[in-house]
């Protein structure tokens, strides 16, 4: 069967990945996740799968849940939710967005007032002398001004003494990143314009933290969640999927790491250190070692190849042009990526019930001027693992990543697609 991407469909408006559509919505807006998709994709998947299965309350799985758009949307639509995320900080974000309101707003407001009344308002941070977190001898740029780091440490310490710490911690993480001298731009951090003149301090941090807390408290009242099942696993999806019962999932919605050689854990490095999820680069490296093999920033001691002949041929073609690559490990990365995704499709098929659907959004890639139709290859791999293809719907054209091109090689126009299958 020849698989092709179609531009003739009705999914462009509500399924094109764009997390910014979430930022005006209760709970979703508690933390921005630039790499995520919007809630409308999940809602469309729920509606179509419910109709095809004749089932109102679905159990929905996201094996790469990021900041929790899929499980949160599932719960908001009367469904059960299962989420897997390897990044411990992002796993925390997703879980917290899905916590049900337990008390009246008055209780949360009282805790917030207590936090803000505590002294001191600044405490020395261990990160002041670590890497580029703060100004020190030899640093020309730094992520946080000293007062911001110390203000964060003080609020963090006080929050740990509260009953509903997760809500307040999430508000704090969002606030400290607003007070950072850098912002997330794609898959990296870029320094803000005139960052050295912004002069963020603990005062601005506390003001933004207060505002964020008020938003969360308001949303807890305005956006209650159903009592449906919610299960969150922190770890490698290739392993955690094995913990689920066979035939227990009705819908799988996700966007895997793209084959673009970006280390998705790196952009959230500040939060991982600030939240004490890691204490040094060796611990961060352990998290990287559990990620899908979509980048060359970590050197895996394996040489796995996928079953897919299509994937292996593409990797071999790229390898034949290794003199045009910026990293010699790219061909092996391509093989390993598709090998990992074979595992994902195999495991999701096992845990899915008869009639279940799988929806995923992914972008194509290019190395050494060679186009890699990731969407089509993954669709083919999914069918080899038992899934029946519904269609590959091209959603939009993408700008070629700087990671994927060389000045001497033509740019390949990439695309982003929604792939749909059923069991």
> What is the reported pLDDT for 409?
47
pLDDT, average across residues 357-376: 95
**For residue 259, what pLDDT is reported?**
94
CB 276 within 8 A of CB 159: no
Burial class of 36 by CB neighbour count within 10 A (0 to 12, 13 to 18, 19+): buried
Q: What is the pLDDT of residue 385?
A: 97
Largest CA distance in the chain: 68
Helix axes 69-76, 39-53, angle to 10 degrees: 50
> Residue 407 pLDDT more than 50?
no
What does the pLDDT read at residue 401?
A: 56
Strand partners of residue 366? 371
The pLDDT, as a whole number, for residue 289 is: 92
Question: Across residues 69-89, what is the average pLDDT?
Answer: 97
Q: Tokens for 338, please give them.
A: 């598709």
**Assigned fold of 12-99+229-269+280-422:** Rossmann fold (3.40.50)
Instruction: Please write the tens of the pLDDT for every residue from 103-147.
Output: 999 999 999 999 999 999 999 999 999 999 999 887 899 999 999
Looking at residue 313, its pLDDT comes to: 96
* Residue 366: partners with Cβ closer than 8 Å, 6 or more residues away: 372, 400, 404, 405, 411, 412, 414
Q: Is the peptide bond before 120 cis (omega within 30 degrees of 0)?
A: yes
Q: Which helix (H) or strand (E) holds 52?
A: helix 39-53
pLDDT at 411: 62
pLDDT at 206 over 90: yes
Per-residue pLDDT of 349-359, as tens digits, reads 999 999 999 99
* Residue 82 Rama label (left phi>0; alpha psi -120 to 50; beta): beta
Residue 32 CB burial class (10 angstroms; 0-12, 13-18, ≥19):
middle
Is the model's pLDDT at 258 over the cut of 50?
Answer: yes
Whether 408 has a pLDDT exceeding 50, the answer reads no
Using the predicted structure, report yes or no on whether residue 402 has a pLDDT greater than 60.
no
CATH 3.40.50.150 in the chain is located at: 12-99+229-269+280-422
User: SS3 letters for 122-138?
Assistant: CCCCHHHHCCCCCCCCC
Give the number of other CB atoms < 10 A from CB of residue 378. 27
Element (H, E) at 189: strand 188-191
| CB 253, CB 360: distance < 8 Å | yes
Per-residue pLDDT tens over the stretch 296-351: 888 888 778 999 999 999 999 999 999 999 889 899 999 999 999 999 999 999 99
Strand pairing partners for 419? 360, 392
- Separation CA 173–CA 158 (nearest Å): 14
Which of 72-86, 101-115, 185-199 shows the lowest mean pLDDT across its residues? 185-199
| Cα–Cα distance, 321 to 323 (Å, whole number) | 5
Tokens of 385: 């693992």
Q: What is the DSSP string of 376-390?
A: HHHHHHHHHTTPEEE
Identify the pLDDT of residue 227. 80
Neighbours of 375 (CB within 10 A): 26
Residue 264: per-residue pLDDT: 77
- Which backbone phi and psi does 353 adopt, to 5 degrees? -85, 165
Which position has the higher pLDDT, 216 or 56? 216
Contacts of 355 (CB under 8 A, 6+ apart): 52, 53, 250, 422, 423
Rounded to 5 degrees, φ, ψ at 98 are -100, 10
Match 């009592």 to its residue by tokens.
Answer: 227
pLDDT in the model for residue 185: 80
Question: What average pLDDT does range 143-152 have in this prediction?
Answer: 98
> Per-residue pLDDT averaged across 44-59, rounded?
97
Exposure pattern of 382-416 as b/e (b: 16+ CB <10 Å)?
beebebeebbbbbbeeeebbebbbeeebeebebbb
**Residue 100: burial class (beta carbons within 10 Å; 0-12, 13-18, 19+):** exposed
């Amino acid at each position: 069967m020849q698989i092709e991407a179609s531009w003739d469909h009705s999914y462009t408006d509500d399924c094109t990945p764009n997390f910014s559509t979430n930022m005006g919505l209760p709970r979703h807006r508690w933390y921005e996740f630039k790499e995520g998709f919007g809630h409308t994709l999940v809602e469309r998947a729920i509606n179509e799968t419910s109709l095809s299965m004749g089932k109102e309350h679905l159990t929905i799985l996201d094996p790469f849940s990021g900041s929790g758009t899929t499980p949160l949307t599932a719960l908001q639509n009367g469904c059960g939710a299962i989420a897997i995320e390897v990044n411990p900080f992002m796993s925390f974000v997703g879980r917290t967005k899905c916590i049900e309101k337990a008390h009246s707003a008055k209780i949360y407001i009282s805790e917030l007032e207590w936090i803000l009344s505590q002294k001191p308002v600044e405490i020395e941070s261990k990160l002041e002398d670590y890497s580029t977190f703060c100004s020190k001898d030899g640093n020309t740029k730094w992520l946080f001004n000293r007062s911001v780091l110390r203000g964060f440490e003080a609020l963090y310490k006080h929050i740990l003494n509260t009953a509903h710490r997760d809500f307040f911690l999430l508000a704090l993480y969002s606030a400290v990143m607003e007070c950072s001298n850098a912002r997330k731009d794609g898959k990296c951090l870029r320094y803000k314009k005139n960052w050295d003149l912004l002069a963020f301090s603990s005062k601005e941090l506390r003001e933004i933290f207060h505002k964020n807390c008020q938003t969360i408290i308001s949303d807890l009242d305005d956006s209650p969640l159903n009592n449906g099942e919610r299960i969150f696993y922190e770890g490698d999806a290739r392993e955690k999927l094995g913990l689920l019962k066979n035939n227990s999932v009705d819908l799988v919605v996700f966007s895997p790491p793209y084959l673009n050689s970006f280390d998705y854990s790196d952009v959230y490095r500040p939060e991982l250190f600030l939240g004490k999820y890691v204490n040094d680069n060796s611990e961060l490296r352990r998290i990287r070692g559990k990620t899908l093999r979509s980048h060359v920033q970590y050197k895996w001691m394996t040489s796995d190849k996928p079953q897919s002949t299509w994937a292996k041929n593409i990797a071999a073609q790229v390898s034949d042009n290794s003199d045009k690559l910026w990293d010699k490990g790219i061909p092996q990365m391509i093989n390993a990526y598709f090998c990992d995704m074979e595992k994902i499709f195999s495991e999701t098929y096992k845990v899915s019930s008869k009639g279940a659907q799988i929806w995923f959004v992914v972008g194509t890639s290019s190395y050494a001027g060679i186009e890699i139709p990731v969407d089509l290859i993954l669709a083919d791999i999914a069918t080899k693992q038992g899934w029946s293809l519904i269609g590959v719907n091209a959603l939009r054209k993408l700008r070629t990543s700087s990671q994927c091109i060389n000045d001497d090689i033509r740019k390949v126009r990439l695309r982003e697609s929604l792939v749909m299958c059923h069991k």
